[in-house]
Structure 1
Amino acid sequence: MEHDILVNALNRSYQLNINQIGLYRDMIGRVYFLQSQGKRYVFKIYRNFKTDDALQTIRILNYLKANLYPVVSVVNTVQNESNIFVDCSEGSCVGVLYDYVDGITPNGKQEAGSIGKQIGKLHKLMESYPHKLAHKTKIDYIDDYISIMKEKNFDSEKIIDLQQYGDELWNRISKLPKSFCHGDLHTGNMLRNQRGEYVLFDFDDASGDYPSMDVAYMSDDTNFNQFQESMYDKTMHLYESFYSGYSKIRPLSNMEYNSIFDFIAVRHFQIISRIVRCQGLQSLDEKDCYEQYTWLMNWRELCIKKQH
């Protein structure tokens, strides 16, 4: 949307006097950094098809904030609304203003145990969440990636390989216990403040699905594009560190404990799908398709070798 229109909408809805605004990122949503009267804010415009996720994010953040869990704060409008709607080229989109968080991105390896303990508290607290959580399906986790490969006219035999692997993964993870899951948990979605707390944000992919997926994503020590066998052992080492803290609050079942390597594969299916649906088919070229196919097939073989 036009820069001046956005500034006017923010000034009108929040009674701000914006003297500085800049686009930080335009991917899953458009994120702006802005400043008004010496105070900094973050404004996020969610894509039209993410409206329900945006409204759920607000409910989750308000619940966690009310229960003194360290998360980013939602700034209400002068009418005490938690969001506004802005007109974009794709239609009416939810816009949310957040307080800017001072802090540093934590070292995921050195601080794994401490992060794990706090995430255990998150999952424990969300067991009492009073609102209904969204649930995602095999289409969201696996099948949309396959659909994209078909849209890209990728090698049909390789698509069958991906389908078979996806079915194997889903057959196992769909049997796992369900509860709250952040859905995109990594150190890029948290900041360590001066009190040593990990302030969490970006709950846009939260669901009532698999807490063990959060554990897996925080324990992922693989390279997303380049495959190396050593990544399995590195991930296991990081997992043990993270779980040493997490398990003090919320131990996993044996089935959940063994699921993390499946979720690391699922993350590839999921992230590629998420990016392409926001950025378009042109964001994925033939080289990317083969690279991810090779990565997933190698990971599949490595997990079989390591686990059996």
Structure 2
Amino acid sequence: MDEKTLQDILTLNFGMGSPSLEFLREGGTTTYIVKGRPKYLLKVIGSAFSGTARQSASIMRYLEENGFPVPKPILTNSVEAFFETEIDGEKKLIVLMEFIAGDEPELEKCASEVGRLVGRFHQLMEEYPSELVYRDKKFFIGRYIEFLRKKKYPRIKEYEELGERLWDKVNNLPQGNCHGDLHRGNLLQNVDGKIYLVDFDTACKAPVMFDVMVMCDMTDYFNLKQEDIELTKVVYREFLSGYVGYHKLSREEIRSFPYWVAIRHFQLQATILEIYGVDCIDEGFIDGQLYWLNKWQEAIPGFTEELEEKNWQRNGI
């Protein structure tokens, strides 16, 4: 879509006068900065991603209306959070939002504050009026096992048995409306220190502990080191001290954290293979991930024992 067409859309449908655009990035979605005071972020989204983009815009609008720190959606003249058009036979979704200049915060320094933010997010999402896609064992464990079968991976039985053991530990945990990809890169801290939550394309219904774990896991995906395990414990405890003031967690949920760390490896590997194809990793890489997971199993008893010792009284759970 050329710049003149986008400028016309912004003028006619968002009430903007003579907008000037600066290309930012391309990757399934084309993103621009709309220059001026204030600045805006403009996303041009193809039909393949329009469903998740609609959902993301809807969630941002809901959260912003409830006073939660997200980039403010800029509504169309017809009071919609997006504008739909068709260019050269392809439907395009135009989403305009407040531009926030900021950086990923250092979680080690603000884990309790981020915990309050995520706790409030989960609290608000309990009342979100639309149904989100449900994520279960098939999504978290089964997809990766299927990919390993396609690759005829010789040690698949070890993955299958581990996946069963892990899911047994989390199978009965409460479900909630989750962000779905709550890594630290989806936080923005502006120059005033205010932290915003962004990118709701993968929002889903799942155990809320998945969100909590993704945010607090400080381990290296490829190289498991004891110092990272210790840092994860510290960040997790501080995060919980803020989180439980808004959204309570049961003892079983808090204890499930290390199992979700391992499940995340199944889930993320499957997502990578869905995007890049089954040949993007080889047997040696899969062996390396299995080695990481087996080392992590050795760390779980110490992790849960420390939670038992230090966390219940402190957080009033």
Same fold (TM over 0.5): yes
**TM-score for the superposition, normalised by structure 1:** 0.85
5+ residue gaps, structure 2: 306-317
Question: Any conservation in 1 of the 2:132–2:204 contact (CA below 8 Å)?
Answer: yes
Q: Which moved more, 1:51-60 or 1:108-117?
A: 51-60
Once the two structures are TM-superposed, the CA of residue 222 in structure 1 deviates from its matched residue by 0.1
CA distance in 2, matches of 1:279, 1:47: 19
Question: Any conservation in 2 of the 1:13–1:77 contact (CA below 8 Å)?
Answer: no
Letter in 1 for 2:115: G
Corresponding residue of 2:238: 241
Once the two structures are TM-superposed, the CA of residue 194 in structure 1 deviates from its matched residue by 4.5
- Three-state SS of the structure 2 residue aligned to 1:244 is helix
Quick check: 1:14 aligned with 2:40? no
Q: Which moved more, 1:298-307 or 1:256-265?
A: 298-307
Letter in 2 for 1:7: E
Once the two structures are TM-superposed, the CA of residue 185 in structure 1 deviates from its matched residue by 1.2
**CA offset digits 1:26-66 (Å, max 9, x no partner):** 2xx43523234455333345565544332221221111111
Once the two structures are TM-superposed, the CA of residue 124 in structure 1 deviates from its matched residue by 1.4
**CA offset digits 1:225-270 (Å, max 9, x no partner):** 1122443332112111111111222221011101111111122222
- Three-state SS of the structure 2 residue aligned to 1:115 is helix
**TM-score for the superposition, normalised by structure 2:** 0.82
CA distance in 2, matches of 1:257, 1:238: 13
Corresponding residue of 1:279: 276
Once the two structures are TM-superposed, the CA of residue 218 in structure 1 deviates from its matched residue by 1.5
Question: Any conservation in 2 of the 1:105–1:190 contact (CA below 8 Å)?
Answer: yes
Describe how 1:1-308 pairs up with structure 2 within 5 A: 5-15=1-11, 17=18, 19-24=20-25, 26=27, 29-37=28-36, 39-45=38-44, 48-85=47-84, 92=91, 94-151=93-150, 153-157=151-155, 159-304=156-301, 307=304
Letter in 2 for 1:155: Y
Once the two structures are TM-superposed, the CA of residue 179 in structure 1 deviates from its matched residue by 1.4
CA distance in 2, matches of 1:265, 1:220: 10
Once the two structures are TM-superposed, the CA of residue 186 in structure 1 deviates from its matched residue by 2.3
Question: Any conservation in 2 of the 1:43–1:96 contact (CA below 8 Å)?
Answer: yes
Once the two structures are TM-superposed, the CA of residue 95 in structure 1 deviates from its matched residue by 4.4
Once the two structures are TM-superposed, the CA of residue 160 in structure 1 deviates from its matched residue by 1.7
- Three-state SS of the structure 1 residue aligned to 2:228 is helix
Q: Which moved more, 1:12-21 or 1:211-220?
A: 12-21
Q: Which moved more, 1:39-48 or 1:53-62?
A: 39-48
Aligned residues: 299
1:19–1:13 distance in 2 versus 1, CA, 3 Å: closer
Letter in 2 for 1:34: I
**CA offset digits 1:118-141 (Å, max 9, x no partner):** 211111122222222221132221
1:88–1:211 distance in 2 versus 1, CA, 3 Å: farther
Q: Which moved more, 1:41-50 or 1:123-132?
A: 41-50
Once the two structures are TM-superposed, the CA of residue 182 in structure 1 deviates from its matched residue by 1.1
